[in-house]
Structure formats: C-alpha cells, structure tokens
A and B are shown apart, each in its own frame.
Chain A
Amino acid sequence: MTSSDAYISIRNVDKYFGTFQAIDDISMDIAEGEFFSLLGASGCGKTTLLRMLAGFESCSSGEIYIDGQPTSDIPPHRREVNMVFQSYAIFPHLNVADNIAYGLRKQKLPRAKRQEMIDEMLDLIALPGYGKRRANELSGGQRQRIALARALILRPKVLLLDEPLGALDKQLREQMQLELRALQRQVGITFVFVTHDQEEAMTLSDRIAVMAGGRVLQLDTPLGLYENPKSRDIANFIGNMNFFRGVVRRDGSREGAIDVEGLGVIPVPLEQLTRPDGAPVQVALRPEKFTITPDEPETAPRVAGKVRDSAYLGERSHFYIEIPDKEEPVAVSSPNLTRNDRKLAEARTGKPIWLSFSPESIVILDAE
C-alpha cells in the first residue's frame, strides 16, 4: 500500500513510559473503510497504540497522520476518532438515550431530530425501545452495543475498538463478531480493532498487524498471515505449523531445491529462493497441507511414516506421524470426507502410512 491512499498513517512511532518502551518504532498505514486489527499477546502495546490514535497518549517520537493531518497537537476531544473502551465506560448517571446522545451537545440539534438519530442508532444496534433504560439495567453485550452506538452517532472517520468482545461469552461473542462486521460494511467507517484472539482477528479483519513487545511483527491479510508467515513466531501464533530444517540447493540450473530433513529434496522455483546455495533454512508446512494415503501415492514429494497418535474431531482428524530422520512427529490434519475416513483414523495407530503434499504449499523461513 502506498501512503497516498492511507487514511491513518503511523510513522516511526515510539512510546516510552519512563524508561519502559511500550511502542518500538511502529510504522504502518491504514486505508479508509478498512477493518484493521491489532493482534498480540497481553502487554504487547495494543491498547497503548490505540490510545495514541485517540489522543490519550502522546508519541514519544514519530508522528501519526489522520487524513493527512499530523495529530500531535490535536487533543482527544477534537479528533474525529471515537473509541469503544475495553470497559465500555457507559455513563451510569445517564439513561441509554442520553448515553448515546452524549456527543451531540455541540450540534445543538432540535429535539425531534436528536430523538430521530437516537432511535436510528437503537435500531442499528438492535435495541429498539431501550432508550429509557438505565445503564445498570443492561447486560454486557447490550452495554457493548450502547458504547458502539454512542461512538457511531457522531459519524467518526475512525472507530477504535479495544477488545470490545473480550468480556462476552463465546456464543454472544461470535454473534457480535458477525454483527460488528456487518455494521462496519453498512456504515463504511474505518475500524481499528484490538484483540488478542487470533480467530476473532482472522474472521473480522481486512488486514491484521501482529504485535509483540511493542513492535509489529507482520502486517498482512488473514490469508497472507496464514499462508505466508514471515517468522516462526507468527506461524505459531496463528494456527499450527510443522517446522523442518533444510538446506538450499541451487546447482546453476533453472530449478532450485531445498533438501529438507525427513522429506527429501523439494523443488522450489528460483524466484522464491533468494538465498545462496548451501544456506540453512526452515521449511514450514501447515498440518492440513498433507494428504494421507494408505498406499504409496504417485505424486512427489511423498514420505512414508507411522501413525503415533490420532484424534477424531468430527469434521476432521488429527494425526501425529513419525517419519524417518525427524525427531518430532509431524502434525497432520485430515478432513473426514467419508465415514471410512473415520475408521482410517481409528485403525491407523501404529500402522505405516504415506504422506504427500504439494511443493507450492511450503513456507521458507530463515533458519533459527
């Protein structure tokens, strides 16, 4: 993405709390109308970065541009950015309607117009007729929606959401995820969404910035993060991954290859192979990229192994398969396409089996 169509542009931003560095040289661009997620473990700086966007924390160095404007000198109440707080921060002394209309004071709307806007919002968040309720008569999910409506009624350019679904139970959370996504498409506002739940980030986001220790490890689409992780940490953080040691082989011909422990020599197109001959690499392969067959398949690459362990999970089965020349067993996930597949899973423990995969599905990473 070029910075010309970036709506929010974060440039070399650092944040120190005393001597502790919470944000470490982050640069990224967020496009208009994008559903953008910040994903990372607890304490990695997600909330801090969000609060910097809202203006509650200043940048120790660097600059954040919103719609091309530098924001350092703009206090929170003059930013066209609204936030849904982790704790929702619903005002307990106001009823639902007054909570939603809180930010409208300065617009000096006529009464009828104001009421109309409130009702519109209550419809949008599927709580019609709740206007007179008091804040302490609401459930967690309802509070979350009120917090959302309170921000959306101002038609902000950017909505910041700090783990808004964190406090909800699984079922409600999944329902709210769908509603959030639908809402975001409907209103077309840029969402910056903080979560530590990778599944949630994958479901909702156009793009995800994976953070750790105040840095952005990788910024990519859900597909990119899953299929082309840039490091072992990312690969492990999102889904499961098998890792193999390998050595680059390029013998001057047009085709390159990697000699992978346990899997043999895998051909790799030269343009994917930026490293020199003999360079050590890691080869990563997702469990579902393997195909299991009882008999030796025609396709290469393939490897024979023994099922050490298997688990039947309904729509799929998990296997741990020992292959020659590799210490840890290979994790394999196989869909149960027919009823017999299940029997296969059950019957196969300790039996020989064949694994095959497509050479395109491997991910090449730097050696540890």
Chain B
Amino acid sequence: MSDTSYIKRPNRPLQVYAVIFLVVLYTPVLFIPLFSFNDSIYVTFPLTGFTTKWYAELWTRAPVWNALMNSVKVGLSVAVLSTLLGVVAAKAITRHRLPGKSAVVTFIMMPLVIPGIIFGVALLVLMSRMGVSLSLYTVSIGHLIVCLPFAVATLLPRFEGFDPSMEEASADLGENGWWTFWRVTMPMVFPGVVASLMLTFTISFDEFIMAFFLTGTDPTLPMYIWGQLRFPQEFPSILALASLILFVSFFMVFLAQWLGRRGLDEDI
C-alpha cells in the first residue's frame, strides 16, 4: 500500500474522465484563437499561414472600440451595482432574523435557472409598456438580473464564514453599525467583493440574450459580433475579437475564483 490516505489516493478512471471532460468542453472553443491567426478569410483546414493582421485590423476599426466602450460601461456599472446589492442581500440573509429566509434565497437565485429569453422578452414588454426607449440603461437592467445571483452566491459564503461575534466585538468596543461595517465586515468579506466585481463584470461583458432584446442603438460587444457575422470578409477579425474576449474572460474568472476562495479555509 502507498502512504496516501483513502480519500486522496490517485484514481485512474477519474483522471481519464476529467481529461475527456475538459477536451470535449474546450476543443471547439480552441478553434477560435487557432483560426484567428490563420492567413485566410475562410475558416477551413488546412491552415494557410500565420498572421496577426486580423488583430491589427481590429485595432483600427472605430465601431469595435465603440462597442467595447459600451460593454465596459455596462459591465462596470452592473458589476458595482450587483455587488452592492449582493453585499446588502448577503448581510441581510446572514445577519438578521429574516422570516422566510430560504424562500428569499431561492428567489434571488431563480434567474440562474429561468431561461434568459423569458426574462429578456418580459423586460422588453415591460419597457415598451412603460414607454422606456431601449438603450444601454435597459441592457444594464437586464444584466443586473442575470448577475445578481452570481454576486450573492459569491458573497454569501464569505458572510457565512465569519463569526458574528466579530461584529459584536466591534460594537462592544464603541463602533456603531456604519463604522463596524467599514472596519470589520468589509475587510473580512473584501476578497469576496473583489471576486464578485470581477465575476459580474465578466458575465455582463459576455452576455448576449438580454442585450439582444434590450439593446437600442448602441451595441455591446457581443451584439456587434452578432451583427458582423453576416459579412464573411469580417469573419477573421471577429474571430480575433472573440479570442481576446475569451482570454480576458478566462483570466477574470480564474482570478475571481482564486480570490473568492482565498482565506476562506483559514481560521477567521
């Protein structure tokens, strides 16, 4: 017998499974960066040569920059708002006696399982009934609904993970609720807040369905990509753009995951 413990011992079938899982999941995605460096406007094998001209072309195109700025604007405001609401919700859920607590949590998490198209249509109907014209604001409202469950899900474990007597100790030492929040609660949940900001920004940045229904004249980046798919000669630059988005999203999500988990296992 090796000296590894029962639960930690290597498990060959599980490793094989994990590899297959990842290959199936990511192979299609990897074609996008692959073809974005291909010196041809046709997405077919064999590859014809290496080039970065699609990226260069992207750089000079004003509408791309425009769409990017729109997405960043929406992403930032959605990230800040949903994280703010997430903090309030997580604090209320963990720190106050809330009647029907589990029902509240379920409702907050609901958008995760309700198809985006339903929310999109519903919001579209609501907006037009109320006479609100579609703009980046309406997109942001849609994204807020999509992002809030992720913010709460990221923050809740941080709030649950620390002893409420920390906050009581702060009150006991003379700080009121406001100062206690900034001097104790916030520093303790801070990694979760950063994780939530990054995660919700990424989700909003990549989101398509809500944007599809709720965008006015200013397209977000995914909407711009969707629009360009009709023109075959634009396709390689779209691939280049998609690759960039892919890379940044991966990076952000990994960072968010790492931050969100950091310190949770330490004794606090």
Residues of A within 8 A of B (CB): 54, 56, 75-78, 81-83, 85-87, 89, 91-93, 102-103, 105-106, 136, 150-151, 154
Please, how many angstroms separate the alpha-carbon atoms of A82 and B174 in the complex? 9
Task: Report the minimal beta-carbon distance from B172 to chain A, rounded to whole angstroms.
Answer: 5
Q: Which residue of A lies closest to B267 (CB)?
A: A136
Pair A102/B268 contact, Cβ less than 8 Å: no
Ranked 6 nearest A-B pairs via Cβ: A103-B173, A89-B169, A89-B165, A93-B187, A76-B171, A77-B171
Type the 1/0 row for B180-200, where 1 means its CB is closer than 8 Å to any CB of A: 100110011000000000000
Tell me which of B168, B173, B183, B184 has the highest count of chain A C-beta atoms within 10 A of its own C-beta.
B173
B3 touches A (CB below 8 Å): no
Pair A105/B171 contact, Cβ less than 8 Å: no
Task: Report the minimal beta-carbon distance from A284 to chain B, rounded to whole angstroms.
Answer: 41
Task: Report the minimal beta-carbon distance from A51 to chain B, rounded to whole angstroms.
Answer: 8
Q: Which residues of A contact B187 (CB under 8 A)?
A: 93
Q: Which residue of A lies closest to B172 (CB)?
A: A83
Please, how many angstroms separate the alpha-carbon atoms of A106 and B170 in the complex? 13
Among A56, A87, A151, point to the contact of B173 (Cβ < 8 A). A151
Q: Which residues of B contact A87 (CB under 8 A)?
A: 163, 165
Pair A83/B169 contact, Cβ less than 8 Å: yes
Q: Which residues of A contact B179 (CB under 8 A)?
A: 105
Please, how many angstroms separate the alpha-carbon atoms of A86 and B174 in the complex? 19
Task: Report the minimal beta-carbon distance from A150 to chain B, rounded to whole angstroms.
Answer: 7
22 A-B residue pairings within 8 Å (CB atoms)? A54-B172, A56-B168, A77-B173, A77-B174, A78-B174, A81-B172, A82-B173, A83-B168, A85-B169, A89-B163, A91-B166, A92-B266, A92-B268, A93-B188, A102-B173, A103-B175, A105-B179, A136-B267, A150-B169, A150-B173, A151-B173, A154-B174
Q: Which residue of B lies closest to A80 (CB)?
A: B174
Q: Which residue of A lies closest to B169 (CB)?
A: A89
Q: A-B contact count, CB below 8 Å? A: 64
Pair B166/A75 contact, Cβ less than 8 Å: no
Please, how many angstroms separate the alpha-carbon atoms of A86 and B163 in the complex? 11
Q: Which residues of B contact A83 (CB under 8 A)?
A: 168-169, 172
Task: Report the minimal beta-carbon distance from A169 to chain B, rounded to whole angstroms.
Answer: 19
Pair A85/B266 contact, Cβ less than 8 Å: no
B176 touches A (CB below 8 Å): yes
Tell me which of A86, A87, A93, A106 has the highest count of chain B C-beta atoms within 10 A of its own C-beta.
A93
Please, how many angstroms separate the alpha-carbon atoms of A146 and B267 in the complex? 17
Q: Which residue of A lies closest to B187 (CB)?
A: A93
Q: Which residues of A contact B267 (CB under 8 A)?
A: 92, 136
Chain A binding surface, main DSSP class:
mixed
Q: Which residues of B contact A56 (CB under 8 A)?
A: 168, 171
Q: Which residues of B contact A93 (CB under 8 A)?
A: 187-188
Pair A77/B175 contact, Cβ less than 8 Å: yes
Please, how many angstroms separate the alpha-carbon atoms of A270 and B171 in the complex? 55
Q: Which residues of B contact A81 (CB under 8 A)?
A: 172
Please, how many angstroms separate the alpha-carbon atoms of A77 and B183 in the complex? 14
Q: Which residues of B contact A86 (CB under 8 A)?
A: 165
Tell me which of B169, B170, B179, B188 has the highest count of chain A C-beta atoms within 10 A of its own C-beta.
B169
Known: A81-B172, A91-B169, A154-B173. 13 other contacts (CB 8 A): A54-B168, A75-B171, A77-B172, A82-B172, A82-B173, A83-B169, A89-B165, A89-B168, A91-B170, A92-B266, A93-B187, A102-B170, A102-B175
Q: Which residue of A lies closest to B173 (CB)?
A: A103
Please, how many angstroms separate the alpha-carbon atoms of A347 and B179 in the complex? 71
Please, how many angstroms separate the alpha-carbon atoms of A81 and B172 in the complex? 7
Please, how many angstroms separate the alpha-carbon atoms of A86 and B168 in the complex? 12
Pair B168/A76 contact, Cβ less than 8 Å: yes
Task: Report the minimal beta-carbon distance from B132 to chain A, rounded to whole angstroms.
Answer: 43
Q: Which residues of A contact B180 (CB under 8 A)?
A: 77
Please, how many angstroms separate the alpha-carbon atoms of A85 and B175 in the complex? 16
Please, how many angstroms separate the alpha-carbon atoms of A78 and B266 in the complex? 32
Pair B172/A76 contact, Cβ less than 8 Å: yes
Q: Which residue of A lies closest to B268 (CB)?
A: A92
Task: Report the minimal beta-carbon distance from A303 to chain B, rounded to whole angstroms.
Answer: 55
Q: Which residue of B lies closest to A83 (CB)?
A: B172
Pair B176/A77 contact, Cβ less than 8 Å: yes
Task: Report the minimal beta-carbon distance from B13 to chain A, rounded to whole angstroms.
Answer: 39
Q: Which residue of A lies closest to B190 (CB)?
A: A93
Among A75, A85, A92, A150, point to the contact of B188 (Cβ < 8 A). A92
Q: Which residue of A lies closest to B162 (CB)?
A: A92
Please, how many angstroms separate the alpha-carbon atoms of A150 and B169 in the complex? 10
Task: Report the minimal beta-carbon distance from B97 to chain A, rounded to whole angstroms.
Answer: 11
Q: Which residue of B lies closest to A86 (CB)?
A: B165
Tell me which of B174, B175, B188 has the highest count of chain A C-beta atoms within 10 A of its own C-beta.
B174
Please, how many angstroms separate the alpha-carbon atoms of A56 and B187 in the complex? 23
From residue 61 to 87 of chain B, which have CB atoms closer than 8 A to chain A?
A: none
Please, how many angstroms separate the alpha-carbon atoms of A149 and B188 in the complex? 22
Task: Report the minimal beta-carbon distance from B158 to chain A, rounded to whole angstroms.
Answer: 13
Q: Which residues of A contact B171 (CB under 8 A)?
A: 56, 75-77
Pair B165/A85 contact, Cβ less than 8 Å: yes
Q: Which residues of B contact A151 (CB under 8 A)?
A: 172-173
Pair B174/A91 contact, Cβ less than 8 Å: no
Among A92, A103, A136, point to the contact of B174 (Cβ < 8 A). A103
Task: Report the minimal beta-carbon distance from A337 to chain B, rounded to whole angstroms.
Answer: 50
Q: Which residue of B lies closest to A85 (CB)?
A: B165
Task: Report the minimal beta-carbon distance from A142 to chain B, rounded to whole angstroms.
Answer: 14
Q: Which residue of A lies closest to B167 (CB)?
A: A89
Q: Which residues of B contact A77 (CB under 8 A)?
A: 171-176, 180
Please, how many angstroms separate the alpha-carbon atoms of A81 and B165 in the complex? 16
Q: Which residues of A contact B266 (CB under 8 A)?
A: 92, 136
